Structure 1
Amino acid sequence: MNLKTIHNVYFIGIGGIGMSALARYFKFIGKNVGGYDRVSTEITTELEDAGMKVTFKDDVEEIPEEFRNTVDTLVVYTPAIPKDSALLAYFTERGFEVSKRARVLGYITADSYCYAVAGTHGKTTTSAILTHVLRETGTPVTAFLGGISENLNSNFLLEGDKITVTEADEFDRSFLHLSPNIACITSIDADHLDIYGNKAEMERTFNAFAGKVKPGGKLIVRYGLPLQGITYGVEAGADYAIENLEIRDGGYVFDIRTPEELVTLVKFGKPGKHNLLNALAAFAMAVEGGTSPREAADALIGFKGVKRRFSYQLKTDSIVYVDDYAHHPAEIDAVYQAVREMYPGKKVLAVFQPHLFSRTRDFLEEFGRSLSGFDEVVLLDIYPAREEPIEGITSGRLLEEINNENKRLTGKKELLSLLKKTDAEVVLTLGAGDIGHEVEKIREVLSEKVKK
């Protein structure tokens, strides 16, 4: 792949969070960029406003003429695209340079000093915090993020091409295309079992990713994971350890014990122990890459967050509304811990949209257990994404697993009426589907309650 000879880049699935970051990169370096996605979203609208041609029909007639030249056109696709896609078939059959997003990302970052964050949970927030820390401490960096950083208001940053930050996505084994200088693995919980089959195969693949670190590079891992590397955690045995943790003004104050020194009075404002660990992982990566520990620590307090990662939508004395991308039982547990820690004694209502029929089936009992702890639970229908329905797997079936008298199913239209009547003091919306499109309406409804 020679990017110098490529003039046009066409994305199949351009509206995906990772794909859109790559699209922005190619547009930034002067390429002609366009693509297809299934539906129009805020992201696709932003791409169009930036001068990219986006269409919404999987139809070869929709391909603009300039992207039909096999000589100077690169076609990038996401593995989430159906295999029977007419667009993918058109480009493949005609001999275009067709590549998965992960391979292109590996090619772009190969000649840079690359920081890569892997893990079934935490990689988006960790990579966003790392990008913020490096930028705040004067390191010019290019970053490809899997979420919208609230500091950047983007999932992409280009301020220098010698250092890159990227997520290392385990879906479809995509992260094996990367060869980072510094890698981090935050977690290896069972997930994507439609791809891996079982957790043992997932662990083997994460080990293979660990082996992709360049000679002389460093691997940073969550304390307790079955991997050899520099460890981080709240445990005393970790190489990077949190000590003297306190909660002050809705945030954390703590010390960090590094392999060399104790960094005191570190402040971080995002609630939840999972976010605290993400901050520690990013800190460790930055320091191992050469950033001053004190400067890295001081930068943490300025991190605003990632949209849809414990994202405050409303925060008043009478009601708090938080939106989160949580779509795995472990992620729901992390949100639960954060809410109970920050709002002890408050009534909490969780609205959850399950994501994927296969994930709901594979973790049915675990989802039930995780959701049972909230004071009230509302389930929306399963968001199918790339999947066809699975017989017997419905939100109604999941509801049966929830050990809570205050539980119900509802549709999106009925949800707003329900929230108008709730006496919950903390409202959560959880899920990786299109529940995020309802956030503004929900915020408006809850804001009206505050006014009354």
Structure 2
Amino acid sequence: MSTLTELGRVHFLGMAGVGVSAIARLMLTEGVPISGTDGKDLPVLDEFRAAGVPVRVGYAGENIASVEAEAGEPVDTVVASSVAKAGRNAEYDAAAAAGKRMLHRSEGLAACMSAKRGIAVAGTHGKTTTSSMTAVMLHAAGLEPSFAIGATVAGFGTNAQPGSGEWFVAEADESDGTLVNYSPEIAIVTNVEPDHLDHYSSAEEFEQVFVTFSGNILPGGALVLCADDDGARALEQRVAAELARRRVTLTTYGFSEDAGLRITEHTEDFSGQQFTLTRGDAAAQVRLRAPGRHNALNAAAAVGTGLQAGLSLAQAAEAVGEFAGSSRRFERRGEVAGIRVIDDYAHHPTELAAVLSAARSAVGGGAVHAVFQPHLFSRTQAFAREFGQELSAADTAAVLEIYPAREEPIEGVTAGLLGHPVHTWQGAVDAVVDAAEPGDIILTLGAGDVTELGDRIVEALQRARPHESNVVDGS
């Protein structure tokens, strides 16, 4: 593993991406000289320009030489996003040919973590929220952690921040297998449910990467995993003996009766939820502003991590209650005439089920209206039936065309496979605005640009109901 002091001047490829920009922000704060390129001129690049960082828009083989001439010193290391790959990115290829040290984004993040005690959060679902809750909890308890997370954390106003404390909280991404590049002291596994089968050849290969990740936990460290998830349970069985040999503590959490950290007495409404966490003879109350049983599990994971980091159960339970949300995780975008518009990143059938369940619990006697944008042709092909089934839990469901992201179309794979009406953006707005009544919830769901639809729905509700109620801002 590289350390920050070994990297020299660092150039980033994909600098505007949420993951790469977080690493760049951390390195800049730590005094590492940096520069970067992205294919699009997004607002985050203005932050770096304002700090005097050389930024290029549009990949080109000569960009790094241009940066070197401007800086008056060579670029030593290139940190690249998963999108910037050998043979597909001219700037990457030129850097490699010039003999630069080439690091994947995950390896750059590992370098940032190298001087701290690492907490890596992995799992098919819930990584961002669990990472955010863990960082907020440690901060509220006075431990001042560093963190790098895949979304802006409410209260911090950023997705990455260096802290004066000894802990560093980071997401470990399974989508491309790079979670194995981390060697944390504490690891969380929220669940293991096969996904990203465009990258993995089989479910078995996907599951194996979590075994390898668990094997990277430092001797004397801890693994915190969900007792309610079959995949996490299977992982526990596969790694328990090896973890015991390496003196790695294994802690489970969940609603299950045999969970080491058990959730009981759970109640919720739109304002949030409360429940009791029990560990042996000890018990503590958690009051959480985020609704949904899935968020109770995420909070229990954070508390379990806090226990391993030296907090008492009472301390951790109180501190996690300071969590006020992450961007695109059941995020309120506005309210008009008692109709609440909420945006969520859910892009897997299990995530859809969790968010729709949370909305159903929060809405009381009202209705739930969902607008879903499938993400990736390969994921839609693999889970079309499951997506359709989960969307049926909404009172009305509108589907947008597939957001392709990095993929080319697959013949015969369309949003129509989900079995729900497929709309244009304007058609979806019209459908939910016509259907919604005071007391209802409108959800925009997916990992693509559907997040932009929430504001359009709020505006359309204002036009349709100008005299019924003032708008309540989502923030």
Q: Same fold (TM over 0.5)?
A: yes
1:444 partnered with 2:459: yes
Counterpart AA for 2:39: R
Partner deviation per Cα, 1:64-118 (whole Å, 9 max, x = no partner): 7234788543111112335411111111111111110111222332342111111
Which aligned pairs between 1:50-129 and structure 2 lie closer than 5 A? Answer: 50-63=51-64, 65-67=66-68, 71-83=74-86, 84-129=88-133
Q: 1:13·1:19 contact (CA, 8 Å) conserved in 2?
A: yes
* Percent of residue pairs bearing the same amino acid type: 34
Give the drift of 1:345: 3.2
Name which of 274, 288, 293 aligns with 1:273.
293
Secondary structure at 2:253's aligned position in 1? strand
* 1:354-393 equivalent positions in 2, closer than 5 A: 354-393=374-413
Distance apart, 1:385 and its partner CA:
1.1
The runs of 4+ residues in structure 1 deviating greater than 6 Å are none
Q: Which of 324, 327, 339 is the equivalent residue of 1:307?
A: 327
Contact map agreement 1:313 1:322 (CA 8 A) in 2: yes
Partners of 2:336 and 2:461 within 8 A in 1: no
Compute the displacement of 1:11 (Å).
Answer: 1.2
Which range is displaced more, 297-306 or 210-219?
A: 297-306
**Which residue in 2 is equivalent to 1:44?**
45
> Out of 431, 438, 441, which is 2:446 matched to?
431
Change (3 A) 1:113 1:82: closer
- Do the aligned partners of 2:26 and 2:112 also contact (CA within 8 Å) in 1? no
2:22 pairs with 1:27: no
What are the superposed Cα offsets for residues 249-306 of structure 1, whole Å, 9 maximum, x if unpaired?
Answer: 632122110245111x321110111111101100110111101221221122221100
SS of 1:172's equivalent in the other structure is: coil
1:198 to 163, 179, 202: 202
Aligned residues: 444
- How far off is 1:150 after superposition? 1.2
Equivalent-residue separation in structure 1 for 2:383 and 2:204 (angstroms)? 16
1:142 is the counterpart of 2:146: yes
Aligned to 2:211: 207
What secondary structure sits across from 1:245 in the alignment?
A: strand
Q: TM-score, length-normalised on structure 2?
A: 0.88
Which residue matches 1:324? 344
Residue pair 1:110, 1:179 contacting (<8 A) in 2 also: no
Q: Which residue of 2 aligns with 1:250?
A: 271
Which letter does structure 1 place at the counterpart of 2:206?
M
Mapped to 2, the partners of 1:248 and 1:353 lie a distance apart of 27
Q: Distance in 1 between matches of 2:357 and 2:414?
A: 27
1:410 to 1:37, Cα distance in 2 relative to 1, 3 A: farther
Q: Specify the alignment match of 1:287 in structure 2.
A: 307
* AA in 2 matched with 1:441: R
**Superposed CA offset, 1:195-220 (max 9, x none):** 22222222111111111110000111
SS at match of 1:221: strand
Aligned to 2:470: none
Q: Given residue 278 of structure 2, which amino acid in structure 1 is its aligned partner?
A: R
Q: Is the CA contact (8 Å cut-off) linking 1:81 and 1:386 kept in structure 2?
A: no
Change beyond 3 A, Cα 1:176–1:66: same
CA contact (8 A) 2:27 2:112 kept: no
Aligned CA distance change for structure 1 residues 82 and 107 (closer, same or farther; 3 Å):
closer
Quote how far apart the aligned CAs of 1:60 are: 2.7
Instruction: Please state how far the C-alpha of 1:322 moved relative to its aligned partner.
Output: 0.6
For the structure 1 residues 58 and 423, does the alpha-carbon distance in structure 2 shift closer, same or farther, using more than 3 Å as the test?
A: same
C-alpha distance in structure 2 between counterparts of 1:316 and 1:163, whole Å: 42
Change (3 A) 1:23 1:109: same
CA distance in 2, matches of 1:104, 1:342: 40
Looking at structure 1, the residues matched to 159 and 349 of structure 2 have their Cα atoms a distance apart, in angstroms, of: 25
Paired residue for 2:254? 233
2:349/2:387 contact within 8 Å kept: yes
Q: Secondary structure at the match of 1:171?
A: coil
Change (3 A) 1:237 1:107: same
Secondary structure class of the residue paired with 2:194: coil
Query: Is the CA contact 1:131–1:143 (under 8 Å) kept in the aligned structure 2?
Result: yes
1:4: Cα distance to partner? 2.9
What is the rounded CA distance, in whole Å, between the counterparts of 1:316 and 1:222 in structure 2?
Answer: 38
* Alpha-carbon shift at residue 448 of structure 1 (Å): 4.0
For the residue of structure 1 that corresponds to 2:176, the secondary structure is helix
- Residues 14 and 37 in structure 2, CA contact (< 8 A), matched pair in contact too: yes
The 5 A counterparts of 1:145-160 are 145-160=149-164
Q: Which runs of 5+ in 1 are unaligned?
A: none
